[in-house]
Amino acid sequence: MIKREKIKDLLVSTAFDTEVKVMGWIRTFRNNQFIALNDGSCMGNIQIVVDFTNTPDELLKRLTTGAAISVVGTLVESIGKGQKVDIKATNIEILGDSNAEEYPLQPKKHSLEFLREKAHLRFRTNTFNAVFKIRHALAFAIHQFYNERGFVYMHTPVITASDAEGAGEMFKVTTLDFDKTPRTDDGKVDFSEDFFGRATNLTVSGQLEGELAAMAFGQIYTFGPTFRAENSNTTRHLAEFWMIEPEIAFADLENNMELAEDMMKYVINYALANCKEEIAFLNDRLLEEEKSKPQQDRSELSLIEKLNFCIENDFQRLTYTEAIQILKHSKPNQKKQFKYLIDEWGADLQSEHERYLVEKHFKKPVILTDYPKDIKSFYMRMNDDGKTVAAMDILFPGIGEMIGGSQREERMDMLTKRMEEMNVPQEELWWYLDTRRFGSAPHAGFGLGFERLVLFVTGMTNIRDVIAFPRFPKSAEF
């Protein structure tokens, strides 16, 4: 029995005049003679040459776009343009029919909006073949990066009773019957009768649990799903997304910044080295899209140039206070071109401000540090000035904030004071405070939204196009 070959391997093979077997999906069938076949192993198709004069009409009619077939034939050197090899078919078997009139992905260009509605089929297009191959490579690179450095991979809970951010809309988890919800005497939902005996929700972050593990293993990372029930219908937000969250003991903000910069350069470099075909395809796709934009709206760098730009440049480091001064005196601010004008210290920076710093002022990735305590979370270490915390955000071109992190507050008295100021209940986080009671140590960590990373490396413009089945308001179709 002939073993099935992958199209990826056959396209570079020179074993001509040998019998081969391939299986895949028909992209096109033209002139009753030439099948473009793809099996998902690469973006390229292999051409199957059909001897239509000796092929039953009934079979020819079933060779439609989207149909799955098995082909046995001879590998030959192609005489046509655009391909090096063909397969002269000796036997074709239909594995799965596809109704040509109903199949949504006809051989023409489809908009990303249309493909979002066909998320169950969009993997079969070249664009999404490239995007999800790159997503796979980036996920592998993340694990490889931390494994090489001796980090322990931790799986933190998806169901939790805490809100790590101290604020945020959460998806509640319950087994209670909505039609007969038990109530307490004051009319509130009685969660004591629920599965866990208390109110629970889907996690917004594994950070707090990650800190517990770092206080034993020294350095850990998490890589798992997180959930935010924010009613955000934007190109940058999802209700379900994946987060990478390392935590390192005996570390300060400087160590944290070094780890984050090293990680970003490592994974981007891995994608460039291992996804050349996919990145080249997406680079060409973006260049074609740019042609339809006005000159002033076109990107200064191509996708490949942008990725190399991030690897080759040291990230610019500056404090929030320095950034505010730059933004306050910038032309867009003085000419009131920013949607959110910067008037005074303490303002929460928006994406437009972050992108100005990266793309216009410094022209390189930026690490902002030492934010005002009032716009940051309770667990961030207070600086000596009493006004700022040892926080950092890493800003990238086209995206804005890519990473958010901080040195954690290891001092018990300072942590409990911040929790009181921000109304974070200490009794519910007794286990978190125990790490400050028993062998506390300086430590730091950060969070990277994985889809933001994939968005950047692929050059896609909508975050819904870099996760297989996006979850956002009013959408959980697949």
- The CATH number of whichever domain residue 46 belongs to comes to 2.40.50.140
Q: Interior CA angle at 319 toward 309 and 370, to 5°?
A: 120
The reply to whether 101 and 128 lie within a common domain is: no
Which carries the bigger pLDDT value, residue 476 or residue 71? Answer: 71
Place of tokens 């493909």: 115
- Place 162 in a pLDDT band, splitting at 50, 70 and 90: confident
Q: Over 80: is that where the pLDDT of 206 sits?
A: yes
Range of 217's domain? 124-168+204-465
Residue 131 contacts residue 462 (beta carbons within 8 Å): no
Question: Residues 201, 207, 209, 213: what is their CA dihedral angle, to the nearest 10 degrees?
Answer: 160
Does the residue 198 lie in any domain?
A: no
Mean pLDDT of 258-278: 98
pLDDT on residue 282: 97
Whether 191 maps to a domain, the answer reads: no
Pairing type for strands 400-407 and 443-449 reads antiparallel
In this structure, what token pair is assigned to residue 255? Answer: 């160590």
User: Are residue 129 and residue 63 in the same domain, yes or no?
Assistant: no
Task: Tell whether 454 is covered by a domain.
Answer: yes
The answer to whether residue 183 sits within a structural domain is: no
Domain co-membership, 60 together with 150: no
Q: What is the pLDDT of residue 164?
A: 62
> Is residue 459's pLDDT more than 80?
yes
What is the model's pLDDT at position 361?
A: 95
Residues 25 and 140 in one domain: no
CATH number at residue 358: 3.30.930.10
pLDDT tops 90 at residue 151:
yes
Residue 66 counted as domain residue: yes
**Distance of alpha carbon 401 from its chain centroid, rounded?**
13
pLDDT per residue as tens digits for the range 314-338: 999 999 999 999 999 999 999 999 9
Q: What is the pLDDT of residue 165?
A: 59
Q: Which of 81-85, 164-168, 467-471 holds the top average pLDDT?
A: 467-471
> Looking at residues 352-375, what average pLDDT do you find?
95
pLDDT, averaged across the chain? 94
Does 315 fall in a domain?
yes
Report d(CA 242, CA 450) in Å as an integer. 5
Closest by CA position to 411, among listed 444, 452, 382? 382
How large is the average pLDDT for residues 98-114? 92
Assign 168 a pLDDT band (cuts: 50, 70, 90): low
Report the pLDDT averaged over residues 272-290: 95
pLDDT at position 102 is 94
pLDDT at position 172, please? Answer: 92
Let me know whether 128 and 102 are in one domain: no
Predicted pLDDT of residue 131: 98
Judge if 212 and 87 occupy the same domain.
no
Asked if residue 274 lies in contact with residue 280, where contact means CB atoms within 8 angstroms, the answer is no
**Does residue 365 sit within a domain?**
yes
Name the more confident of 285 and 83.
285
Structural domains counted in the chain: 2
Q: What is the pLDDT, as a whole number, of residue 232?
A: 81
Q: Which of 37-41, 294-298, 438-442 has the least mean pLDDT? A: 294-298
If asked whether residues 30 and 90 sit together in one domain, one would say: yes
Q: How many angstroms separate the CA atoms of 290 and 272, rounded? A: 22
The residue that leads in pLDDT, 156 or 428, is: 156
Q: Give yes or no: residues 93 and 212 share one domain.
A: no
- Among 157, 200, 159, which Cα is nearest to 176's? 200
Answer yes or no: is pLDDT of 241 > 90.
yes
Report, as an integer, the average pLDDT of 220-227: 97
Give 350's contacts (C-beta < 8 A, 6+ positions apart). 338, 339, 340
In a domain, 195, yes or no: no
Phi, psi of 238 (to 5 degrees): -130, 155
pLDDT confidence band for 435 (50 / 70 / 90): very high
pLDDT of residue 408: 98
Residue 180, pLDDT above cutoff 60 = yes
Domain boundary among 39, 74, 108: 108
- Looking at the fold, whether 39 and 89 belong to one and the same domain comes out as yes
**Same-domain check for residues 151 and 64:** no
- Residue 158 and residue 225 share a domain: yes
Same domain, 456 and 389: yes
